[in-house]
């Protein structure tokens, strides 16, 4: 799924090294929002705003099939076994549709109408698919695609949610951190920490991290939503912070990249790139790989914040980069996908 785990983890605990080689490039018919590609075995799956879900062979980049829909697929699908689950925001309609599709047999095993738009990323657990719509309805489906229950959280949501244990966490457009107990099927707290949150949450060791529209990054206690520390980056944050064992990294729409001590929020370094950072980066033990909307990919030394090298691209960067089996994958505005093979590092 987007961010690999329900807690949203973008860290790879090994060195990237200094050498990358373009392996292949391909494209889709539509553009992307700030989501990601997903992978299973030898297949890469991509979804676009033209309503298509694609399968590509990861060795060659050649297409292996696609499904067409009358709408936009703006968030990443999730996978289990041979089932791909994806959401279509229907054109000129006030509803979306969630599909459960078996790509081995070519059959749809289930589908459901969702009231309103669904631009918030899905979560897959061992036995459930979780979705929260933009009008705040949390849906719980089993892996056969049957709806178990739904809960109106009384929130407006444009935030990538996260899950830790039994607790489903998200931020609202009114600046509240909201927690839902899945087993009790109820909201267990709402705590207003900001005026507006539209980024995404990542969780580690009982703490949640999220940015807001005013440019503040918050660290909060998962148990009650209370703020532990906050840091003012100076401009709106729409990407999700990423972290290793000690430090946290986040960018804002003014192109500023920060490294903070995740225990207390003290700044380690700042890099003013002059670009626009609206995409969640990929973190290794030596480099932060940060796409820039201004047609660049920055490779930032995590120790000092210096950009050691860049890749300049033909299009604006949109997708969060993903590492899979020795290759990093990037996506651009007009549907282009680049696959770069790692030639160094200690993967």
**Residue 80 domain-assigned (yes or no):** yes
Structurally, the chain folds into a number of domains equal to: 1
**Residue 244 domain-assigned (yes or no):** yes
pLDDT digits (tens, 9 = 90+) for 305-325: 999 999 999 999 999 999 999
Q: Which CATH number characterizes residue 195's domain?
A: 2.130.10.10
Rg of the chain in Å (alpha carbons): 19
Looking at the predicted structure, is the pLDDT value of residue 223 above 80? Answer: yes
> How does the average pLDDT of the chain come out, rounded?
95
Looking at the predicted structure, is the pLDDT value of residue 61 above 80? Answer: yes
CB-CB neighbours of 9 under 10 Å: 16
CB-CB neighbours of 116 under 10 Å: 17
Please say whether the beta carbons of 75 and 118 come within 8 A.
Answer: yes
**Residue 135 domain-assigned (yes or no):** yes
Q: How far apart are CA 8 and CA 26, in angstroms?
A: 27
pLDDT digits (tens, 9 = 90+) for 162-199: 999 999 999 999 999 999 999 999 999 999 999 999 99
Band the pLDDT of 104: cuts 50, 70, 90: confident
**Residue 242 domain-assigned (yes or no):** yes
**Residue 15 domain-assigned (yes or no):** no
**Residue 141 domain-assigned (yes or no):** yes
Give the range of the structural domain holding residue 36, as residue numbers without chain letter.
Answer: 20-342
Q: How far apart are CA 181 and CA 140, in angstroms?
A: 12
Band the pLDDT of 35: cuts 50, 70, 90: very high
**Residue 62 domain-assigned (yes or no):** yes
Confidence (pLDDT) at 327? 96
**Residue 295 domain-assigned (yes or no):** yes
Mean pLDDT of 265-285: 97
Confidence (pLDDT) at 347? 64
Looking at the predicted structure, is the pLDDT value of residue 3 above 90? Answer: yes
Confidence (pLDDT) at 256? 97
Cβ-Cβ contacts under 8 Å for 271 (sequence gap 6 or more) = 256, 257, 300, 305, 306, 307
């Amino acid at each position: 799924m987007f961010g690999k785990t329900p807690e949203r983890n973008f860290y790879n605990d090994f060195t990237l090294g200094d050498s990358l080689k373009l392996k292949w490039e391909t494209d889709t018919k539509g553009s992307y929002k700030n989501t990601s590609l997903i992978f299973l075995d030898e297949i890469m799956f991509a979804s676009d705003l033209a309503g298509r879900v694609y399968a590509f062979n990861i060795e060659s980049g050649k297409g292996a099939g696609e499904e067409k829909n009358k709408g936009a697929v703006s968030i990443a699908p999730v996978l289990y076994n041979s089932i791909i689950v994806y959401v279509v925001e229907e054109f000129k309609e006030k509803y979306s549709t969630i599909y459960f599709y078996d790509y081995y047999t070519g059959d749809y095993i289930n589908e459901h109408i969702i009231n309103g738009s669904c631009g918030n990323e899905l979560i897959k657990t061992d036995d459930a698919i979780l979705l929260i719509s933009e009008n705040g309805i949390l849906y719980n489906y089993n892996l056969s695609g049957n709806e178990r229950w739904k809960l109106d959280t009384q929130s407006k949501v444009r935030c990538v949610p996260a899950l830790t244990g039994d607790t489903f966490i998200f931020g609202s457009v009114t600046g509240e951190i909201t927690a839902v107990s899945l087993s009790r099927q109820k909201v267990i707290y709402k705590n207003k920490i900001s005026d507006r949150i539209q980024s995404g949450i990542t969780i580690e060791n009982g703490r949640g991290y999220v940015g807001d529209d005013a440019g503040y990054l918050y660290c909060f206690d998962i148990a009650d939503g209370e703020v532990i520390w906050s840091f003012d980056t100076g401009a709106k944050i729409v990407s999700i912070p990423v972290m290793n064992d000690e430090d946290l990294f986040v960018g804002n729409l003014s192109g500023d990249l920060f490294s903070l001590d995740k225990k207390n929020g003290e700044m380690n370094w700042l890099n003013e790139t002059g670009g626009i950072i609206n995409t969640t980066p990929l973190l290794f033990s030596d480099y932060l790989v940060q796409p820039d909307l201004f047609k660049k990919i920055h490779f930032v030394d995590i120790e000092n914040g210096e950009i050691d090298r860049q890749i300049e691209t033909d299009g604006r960067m949109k997708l969060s980069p993903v590492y899979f089996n020795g290759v990093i994958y990037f996506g651009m505005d007009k549907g282009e996908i680049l696959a770069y093979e790692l030639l160094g590092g200690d993967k």
